Structure formats: C-alpha cells, structure tokens
Amino acid sequence: MGIRSFQESTPRLGARVYVDEQAAVIGNVELGDDVSVWPMCSIRGDVNRIRIGARSNIQDGCVIHVTHAHDALPGGRAVVVGDDVTVGHNVVLHACTIGNRCLVGMGSVILDGAVLHEGVLLGAGSLVTEEKILEGGYLYVGRPARRVRALTAEQMNWFEYSARHYVRLKDRYLAGR
C-alpha cells in the first residue's frame, strides 16, 4: 500500500480498509471503516486534512487534495467525504464537502468550497464550481453542473446499493492477499 506520512501526519485507517498498492494516501488523511481506495488514486493531505467516511469508495484514478491556509483563507479548506459515497473513476475532489449517500459520476470535478448535500447524484463529467451548493435529492449534470430533476426512489436506493457493492468487492480483494 502507498500509505505515507508527511511531516508529523500519518494516515489513519479504520477497520477493514482496502488501499490498492498502486494508490497513494499521504499525510493528514482519515479513512473510515470499510473504505476502499482503488488503483492510481492520489489522496494527498499534505497542507490540510482529508476525511472519508465509512463504506465510501474512491475509484480508479481519482485525485483528492486540499487548500492550504493563507491570508485570505486562514484555515484553508479540507476535504470531507461522508458515509456510503461512491466517487467514480477519474474524479477530482479539491477542498470540498460531499455529504452522505452521494454518487459522483466518472470524470467529474468538484472545486474549492463546493458542497454536495446528502443524496446528490452528480452525472459523469460534471463540473461543480467554487462555493456551489447542491441540494440533496436531485440529479445534477453539466459543466457547470445544473439541477436537472428530482431523483426517483430507485435512484435514492442506488447510493446504498453501490456502497454495499464496493464493500463486498474490497472484501474479496482483502481476502485474496
């Protein structure tokens, strides 16, 4: 596994966490129970903190980074990802907050200060601009992302299904070691 300390900060991993050997998890990072981090991900908590909640999955090629503290932003900005979140392939999360039970579609970019409230479905390739707040229970798509429609009950159930699927898959990887 590519788990590395940076200065005084060492990543903290919950129970049954899977970090692929080709992923990098660096510095002030906390991964909750049953989190999975797949190949070629970079989760770099070098100048602020990153927290990823239980049963969330960070799929292949994702980049997660933070904003450092400076005069205009004394505390900088962390990344917080809630529980049961699916972050699709090649997503960039930068200094943003993702609520519980969200799905971030492949190739999306979420920028500094943006917030996805619980239950957001963000379509593939979307761009969430700085400081944008997305209300839960809706599908958002586009560059920049815009609200398209309310989610169906089936889509709302998909958040938990996807999280459970990735927990089972990472358990298979852990058992195969």
Q: In the chain, which stretches have pLDDT less than 50?
A: none
Two tokens at 61? 């090629």
What is the model's pLDDT at position 136? 98
Give yes or no for a contact between 37 and 19, defined as CB atoms under 8 angstroms apart.
Answer: yes
- Token pair for residue 111? 């920028």
Which CATH code, of 2.160.10.10, 3.40.50.80, 3.30.360.10, 3.40.50.300, is assigned to 2-175?
Answer: 2.160.10.10
Q: Do the beta carbons of residue 127 and residue 142 sit within 8 Å?
A: yes
Q: What is the pLDDT of residue 75?
A: 95
Six-digit token pair at 11? 């990543």
Query: Which residues, in sequence order, are CB contacts of 94 under 8 Å at separation 6+?
Result: 63, 64, 65, 66, 67, 79, 109, 110, 111, 112
pLDDT of 177 reads 67
C-alpha to C-alpha distance for 60 and 166, rounded to whole angstroms: 12
pLDDT tens digits for 121-155?
Answer: 999 999 999 999 999 999 999 999 999 999 999 99
CA dihedral 18, 20, 26, 28 (to 10 degrees): -10
- Bridge partners of 63? 42, 92
Which residue ranges make up each domain of the chain?
2-175
pLDDT value of residue 40? 98
> Which residues are 127's β-sheet partners?
109
Q: Tell me how far apart the alpha carbons of residues 73 and 95 are, in angstroms, rounded to a whole number.
A: 12
